[in-house]
Chains A and B, each alone.
Chain A
């Protein structure tokens, strides 16, 4: 099973041009290393502060674009990792071992990643095919970069 660990933003991660605390960076690298050594880490990325981002709001046929930064810091995403483990409990145990970013309050949300079999009942074979073709195209393009 795969799970995404979504790291929520904090005041510090949202600050522009802020350099992360070197000790924290070292701790995070060590933790990432542990995940790799345990054979459970499939992918991970960090995101720039929301000041560098934008939002697209959908209302029927309308699209409205808003530039960052965005106010509700605690709900913003600062980064994510994808873990391959056998249960939600195992994903939780791993996430609990993460060093605390900013040594204060922070949050990581854990969500299970859909596997193709999960879609089997909800969608038709054709829908699954289309989705897979799209993913293949994306993978192709990524490989060409």
Chain B
């Protein structure tokens, strides 16, 4: 096997095994930072030895065994250096006795550890960016360099972020456990937020960006799928998976030939990846079958599914979308949701109905500088032939946007409203 192939093979093995290895080590050492460092040492050992010995038959067990040996050495050194306390003695005994039972079919102790690792990496005590970096590192198997490129951030910044995150978790003695009872919902929400943040970072990548950026969407989708198998009873996890798969299905239709973004309603739907749509719909079905009503991610997925079901924009079931936005607005009240709801209502019930909803948003401070609010109002006024008012709205929207292309489009629409101009 050529040297480069072997290196890629070892990288591939690391991607497959690392999360479980680190999870198991975290349980043994009770320190996720230490577990990750030990994992890295095991990886280095693999890079040194496997070119000679070949990839072992059970690479996960090999990596764990090496890491454990290093942990035992480390604890012995600490004990000898006088930093002995009952914890260390107990840890040492536990490490020396425990045999990793990687073939256990009874419970899924490794699955449990993996889930604990998910929750600790996404702990709300860390900033969202730290959670994202740590999750991609521990669960995604990405290198610091890869994470840095993916987030358009300097590598030392990411490295520092990860170091500080691990230190915070240690200092605050964050327990390595799956949260229970009422705490679970909030903690799970924190996990889903991180996964969706990673997805959106990839989704926002534009042509000409580093190619690693759109692969963040694949990383996020894979993390979502893994989580769905670890917590199959959680409908919002399936909801998030559904939302990501359906959004990802539009990847090739979202950007025009000159790199300009294409709005959903203007996209060429033959370019949507229908395998991903089907996977998304299947995940949404799992969420629905669990009962208890749809949460925010599942509702957003259901809205995306409405678009996915319509072969053309004209066939969109706007009544259903409006109803879903009603439900979403109750669970996740936000001016942006209200705005989207107004658009859906206007498509389903006419522009007047949409304008009524927009009235309520007129004084909303969060939307003061949001160009889409006057843009949508301008659009509805145009449909009602109230052109003078529409023109004012489009001009106002044009002053609020930073994007030059967006601004010229809005000014075009304003000009089209002027008396005596050709019908748009």
Partners in one complex: yes
Chain A residues in the interface with B (C-beta under 8 A): 30, 36-40, 42-43, 84-87, 89-90, 92-94, 116, 129, 132-133, 135-136, 139-140, 143
In the A-B complex, the 4 residue pairs with the closest CB atoms: A39-B225, A139-B274, A90-B12, A39-B222
Q: Is the CB of B252 within 8 A of A116?
A: yes
Point out the residues of chain B lying under 8 angstroms from A43, CB to CB: 275
In chain B, residues 245-269, which have Cβ atoms closer than 8 Å to a Cβ of chain A? 252, 269
What residue of chain B has the Cβ atom nearest to residue A116's Cβ?
B252
Q: Is B222 in contact with A40, judged by CB distance below 8 angstroms?
A: yes
Main secondary structure of the interface of B (DSSP, over half): helix
Q: Does the CB pair A143–B9 fall under 8 Å?
A: no
25 pairs from A and B in contact (CB 8 Å cutoff): A36-B225, A37-B226, A37-B229, A38-B16, A38-B222, A39-B221, A39-B225, A39-B226, A40-B222, A42-B279, A86-B15, A86-B215, A89-B12, A90-B15, A90-B16, A92-B9, A92-B12, A93-B13, A93-B16, A129-B270, A135-B274, A136-B272, A136-B274, A139-B278, A140-B311
Q: Are A84 and B12 in contact (CB under 8 A)?
A: no
Does A136 lie within 8 Å of B11, measured CB to CB? Answer: no
Could you tell me if A93 and B271 are in contact, using CB atoms closer than 8 angstroms? no
List residues of B (10-60) whose CB comes within 8 Å of A's CBs: 11-13, 15-16, 55
Q: Mark B209-236, 1 if CB is under 8 A from A, else 0.
A: 0000001001001111110011000000
Known: A30-B105, A39-B223, A84-B222. A89 touches B270 (CB 8 A): no
Which B residues contact A (CB, under 8 angstroms)? 5, 8-9, 11-13, 15-16, 55, 105, 111, 215, 218, 221-226, 229-230, 252, 269-272, 274-275, 277-279, 311
Chain A residues, CB < 8 A from B12? 85-87, 89-90, 92-93
Q: Which residues of B contact A139 (CB under 8 A)?
A: 274-275, 277-278
Q: Are A89 and B8 interface neighbours, CB within 8 A?
A: yes
Q: A87-B8, A129-B270 are in contact. Are A37 and B16 (CB under 8 A)?
A: no
Measured CB to CB, the closest approach of chain A to B57, in angstroms, equals 9
Cα of A90 to Cα of B311 in the assembled complex, Å: 36
- Nearest CB on A from B304, distance (A): 16
- Chain A nearest Cβ from B114, distance in angstroms: 9
Residues of A within 8 A of B222 (CB): 38-40, 84
Query: A130 — nearest CB in chain B belongs to which residue?
Result: B270
Could you say which residues of chain A place their CB within 8 Å of the CB of B5?
Answer: 89
**Cα separation A85 to B219 with both chains bound (whole Å):** 10
A-chain residues with CB within 8 Å of residue B8 when the two chains form the complex: 87, 89
CB distance from B217 to the nearest CB of A (A): 11
- Nearest CB of A to B9, in Å: 4
Q: Which B residues are in CB contact (< 8 Å) with A132?
A: 270-271
B407 to chain A, nearest CB (A): 29
A38 close to B226 (CB less than 8 A): yes
Q: Of B55, B105, B225, B272, which is in contact with the most chain A CB atoms at under 10 Å from its CB?
A: B225
